[in-house]
Amino acid sequence: MAEKLAIAGGTPILQRSDYKNWPVITDDDRKFVNEVLDSGIVAGGTAPQVVALEKEWAEFTGAKHCLTTCSGTAALHMGLAAIDVGPGDEVLVPSYTFLATASCIIHQMAIPVFVDIDLKTYTMDPTKIEAAITERTKAIMPVHIQGCPADMGPIMEIAKKHNLHVIEDACQAHGAMYKGQMCGTIGIVGAFSLNNLKNLCGGEGGLFVTNDEDVVKKGDLVRYFGDECDEKTLRQKYNSSILGYMYRNQELPAALARGQLKHLNELNDTRIRNSEYLSRELGKIPGVIPPACPTDCKHVYWFYAVRFDPQAAGIDADPRRFRIAVEKALAKEGVLVGQWQVMPTLAQDVFQSMLGVGDRYPWAINEAKGITYKYDVNDFPVAQAYCDSYTNVHSIHPPNGLELNEKVVAGFQKVFGNLGEVMDHADDDVKPGFDGALYGVG
Ligand SMILES: Cc1ncc(COP(=O)(O)O)c(C=O)c1O
């Protein structure tokens, strides 16, 4: 007889205590952080930890230049400003990503134009890019979502053909590789986030990389008020030459990121091992679709997302209801699952209302010329199908290993072995998800 589901009063397979929290703190982190405390130097564009992190990240990625920033969003915005994206320009972004990929375009008074995703990799679908290009398009911003490399080969070809820049949102993809090249170093700018959740964690922060001398110079100005430094004394001139922001990082987050960087490869290896194990085992369950890793690529599994297909599972329910019912049953088994972004990015109110800055800016710039914009979710069926059917499985981050993931698989097997009962409890008041401590949030 099938084991009774926890959602029906049975015993859960897992406890929260089976899960270990991210990030993994080592003596390297303590050493660098203590260096900051002992030095008394806590900030500054040429302070030792930020400078060392810039050098070490440039070495790790193979990029010529790296600038530390206060966030991944700042690094993306600096990229747009450094390549002269401006008012009324259009920038292509995937229909499923984190808000900041698209909102930083608005910060530059430019207009995000969405391109639907590929359902296997969840990244921008290159076959849909050209239809979105207009005479106003200035750049393409692919996202290496959840650590999966976007299909950079065709994206770079299209960009070259239409004379566009490519800014890579690699905020979730530290160490990911696309056909032998490090993600973030293929386009003119790559942006990485160092927030608490990320494969490379500084608590908060970001990294901007480029091989272009002019772009790094302009990015550096944008990073710090547009104010130039005296080349000899390295002192600030207090004379801003262009519009800039305060996007610097600080010594403590940089020190932590340096300690983490020493272990990035081994930590990524653990993520890959856990994820490949889950894909192998969960892929055997009808109705569970594991994430794809594109050929000749290294996926670094920031998050691990599976999709559910009710038909393949033999259940007559719409995908959204089925996904929610399965999530609830898994949550009651103690399996930490749940969605990250819950809708295609363009469905968020900030795009639907197009309030933007002032009265409908940046859209009003081009609307005055008779160009119309609408963000209609129906135009992005793949992102919608993905959002209806996916959940993240929160057991792949180190130091968790196969022991935990074997139990996670057992939880899935139990739930998928009792789908009739799972659907009977589809409306139960259960809230899947995780507590902040799992990813270092207080
Ligand atoms: C895809 C993506 N882009 C941009 C960002 C922004 O990074 P940050 O939070 O460091 O500003 C994030 C962060 O979650 C992200 O996941």
Report how many domains make up the chain.
2
13: left (phi over 0), alpha (psi -120 to 50) or beta: alpha
Asked whether residue 336 falls in the same domain as residue 433, the answer is yes
The Cα–Cα gap between 177 and 188 comes to 16
Q: What is the pLDDT of residue 306?
A: 98
**Which of 68, 69, 73, 247 has the most ligand 1 atoms within 8 A of CB, as the residue to mutate?**
73
Asked whether residue 143 falls in the same domain as residue 258, the answer is yes
**The model's pTM:** 0.98
Cβ of residue 101 lying under 6 Å from some atom of ligand 1: yes
Helices (H) and strands (E) in the chain, counts: 15, 16
Is residue 380 situated within a structural domain? no
| DSSP tag of 97 | S
pLDDT in tens, the chain (442 residues): 578 999 999 999 999 999 999 999 999 999 999 999 999 999 999 999 999 999 999 999 999 999 999 999 999 999 999 999 999 999 999 999 999 999 999 999 999 999 999 999 999 999 999 999 999 999 999 999 999 999 999 999 999 999 999 999 999 999 999 999 999 999 999 999 999 999 999 999 999 999 999 999 999 999 999 998 888 887 888 999 999 999 999 999 999 999 999 999 999 999 999 999 999 999 999 999 999 999 999 999 999 999 999 999 999 999 999 999 999 999 999 999 999 999 999 999 999 999 999 989 999 999 999 999 999 999 999 999 999 999 999 999 999 999 999 999 999 999 999 999 999 999 999 999 999 999 999 8
Asked whether residue 312 falls in the same domain as residue 294, the answer is yes
Asked whether residue 89 falls in the same domain as residue 154, the answer is yes
Domain carrying residue 315:
6-20+264-341+385-439
Q: What is the pLDDT of residue 236?
A: 85
Asked whether residue 11 falls in the same domain as residue 141, the answer is no
Cβ of residue 199 lying under 6 Å from some atom of ligand 1: no
Check: CB of residue 142 under 8 Å from CB of residue 169: yes
Q: What is the pLDDT of residue 235?
A: 83
Asked whether residue 187 falls in the same domain as residue 290, the answer is no
- Measure CA 417 to chain center: 33
Among residues 262, 282, 313, the one where a domain terminates is 262
Asked whether residue 96 falls in the same domain as residue 221, the answer is yes
Q: What is the pLDDT of residue 423?
A: 98
Is residue 122 situated within a structural domain? yes
Tell which atom from ligand 1 comes closest to the C-alpha of 97.
Answer: 1
Amino acid (1-letter code) at residue 20: K
Q: What is the pLDDT of residue 35?
A: 98
Is residue 306 situated within a structural domain? yes
Tell which atom from ligand 1 comes closest to the C-alpha of 143.
Answer: 1
Question: In sequence order, which ranges of 333-389 are alpha helices (DSSP H)?
Answer: 349-352, 363-367, 381-389
Both tokens assigned to 108: 């530059």
Check: CB of residue 56 under 8 Å from CB of residue 261: yes
Asked whether residue 396 falls in the same domain as residue 269, the answer is yes
Strands (E), 163-242: 165-169, 177-178, 181-182, 189-193, 206-210, 227-229, 236-240
The Cα–Cα gap between 246 and 412 comes to 46
Asked whether residue 142 falls in the same domain as residue 200, the answer is yes
What's the angle, vertex CA 180, arms to CA 275 and CA 293, rounded to 5?
30
Among residues 244, 262, 280, the one where a domain terminates is 262
The Cα–Cα gap between 93 and 85 comes to 14
For residue 76, how far is its CA from the centre of ligand 1 (angstroms)?
A: 9
Look at the chain and count its residues.
442
Is residue 138 situated within a structural domain? yes
Among residues 239, 262, 285, the one where a domain terminates is 262
Amino acid (1-letter code) at residue 292: A
Q: What is the pLDDT of residue 359?
A: 87
Cβ of residue 29 lying under 6 Å from some atom of ligand 1: no
369 CB-near residues (< 8 Å, 6+ apart): none
The Cα–Cα gap between 107 and 89 comes to 12
- Burial of residue 2 (CB within 10 Å: 0-12, 13-18, 19+) is exposed
Q: What is the pLDDT of residue 126?
A: 98
Asked whether residue 43 falls in the same domain as residue 56, the answer is yes
- Burial of residue 51 (CB within 10 Å: 0-12, 13-18, 19+) is middle
Cβ of residue 70 lying under 6 Å from some atom of ligand 1: no
For residue 170, how far is its CA from the centre of ligand 1 (angstroms)?
A: 9
Q: What is the pLDDT of residue 233?
A: 85
Is residue 346 situated within a structural domain? no
For residue 266, how far is its CA from the centre of ligand 1 (angstroms)?
A: 23
Check: CB of residue 429 under 8 Å from CB of residue 10: no
Is residue 273 situated within a structural domain? yes
Asked whether residue 195 falls in the same domain as residue 299, the answer is no
Read off the CATH number of the domain in which 409 is found: 3.90.1150.10
Read off the CATH number of the domain in which 68 is found: 3.40.640.10
Both tokens assigned to 266: 């081994």
Is residue 175 situated within a structural domain? yes
- Using the structure block, give the residue that is written with the tokens 């749940």: 338
For residue 193, how far is its CA from the centre of ligand 1 (angstroms)?
A: 6
27 CB-near residues (< 8 Å, 6+ apart): none
Asked whether residue 104 falls in the same domain as residue 242, the answer is yes
DSSP-derived secondary structure for 16-85: GGGSPPSSPP-HHHHHHHHHHHHH-----TT-HHHHHHHHHHHHHHT-SEEEEES-HHHHHHHHHHHTT-
Check: CB of residue 96 under 8 Å from CB of residue 386: yes
Is residue 238 situated within a structural domain? yes
The Cα–Cα gap between 163 and 138 comes to 8
